[in-house]
Amino acid sequence: MKIFKKGKNFFLAINIILVLAICFFVIYACLDPLDFEKAFEDFVDARFFSTQRGLLFLAALLVIGFEILFIWSMIQKEEKPAETVSIETPSGQITIAVYSLEALAKMEASQFDMVSDIRTKVDMKDTQIGMDVYVKVMPTVLIPEISSKIQNAVKEKILSGTGIDLHHVRVFVDGIAGIS
């Protein structure tokens, strides 16, 4: 996670440098490089700049303004910590990301050839942990039979892989695969 943060900060720094360099180059191109003082005076009087140079200059100022807003929003944005499930063992506490549980359940449900478009969601209420599995099934499948198999397989996989005994596994058939 620290590597990602460093990479994000590096990207942000490069972004700032590139955008500011481009904007300052555009502003420089709009001004008379031989006489900056006169150029600024003339800009105020609006006699020195052509319409195109003026629009380019204002566009560069707008980009700088939006870049400042972007940077400010990136700095203010707090990273939301990942949801986790903690279990106590004789050796100590184990913390598992909810995403990991969802990935395990999705991987197990994908073992069935008759299902597709699998989505999973952990359902946490108080001390009970459940799993919702959303699938599309093939037209020839018996829905109660495949749903029961998915429930059992997901429950066993989570129990054997993490030691977490799911309170419930609910299977939602979202649709029939191949039918719009």
pTM, entire model: 0.56
Indicate whether 63 and 127 sit together in one domain.
no
Cα distance between residue 51 and residue 71, in whole Å? 30
Whether the pLDDT of residue 84 is over 80: the answer is yes
Condensed to tens digits (0 to 9), the pLDDT of residues 90-138 reads 899 989 999 999 999 999 999 999 998 999 999 988 888 999 999 999 9
CA 24, CA 11: separation in Å to the nearest integer? 20
Q: What range defines the domain where residue 65 resides? A: 2-76
Do 69 and 88 share a structural domain? no
Boundary (domain end) residue, out of 25, 42, 76 = 76
For the segment 156-168, the average pLDDT, to the nearest whole number, is 93
Q: How confident is the model at residue 50 (pLDDT cuts 50, 70, 90)?
A: low
54, 76, 98 - which closes a domain? 76
Tell whether 93 and 166 lie within a shared domain.
Answer: yes
Structure-model confidence comparison of residues 135 and 180, the more confident one: 135
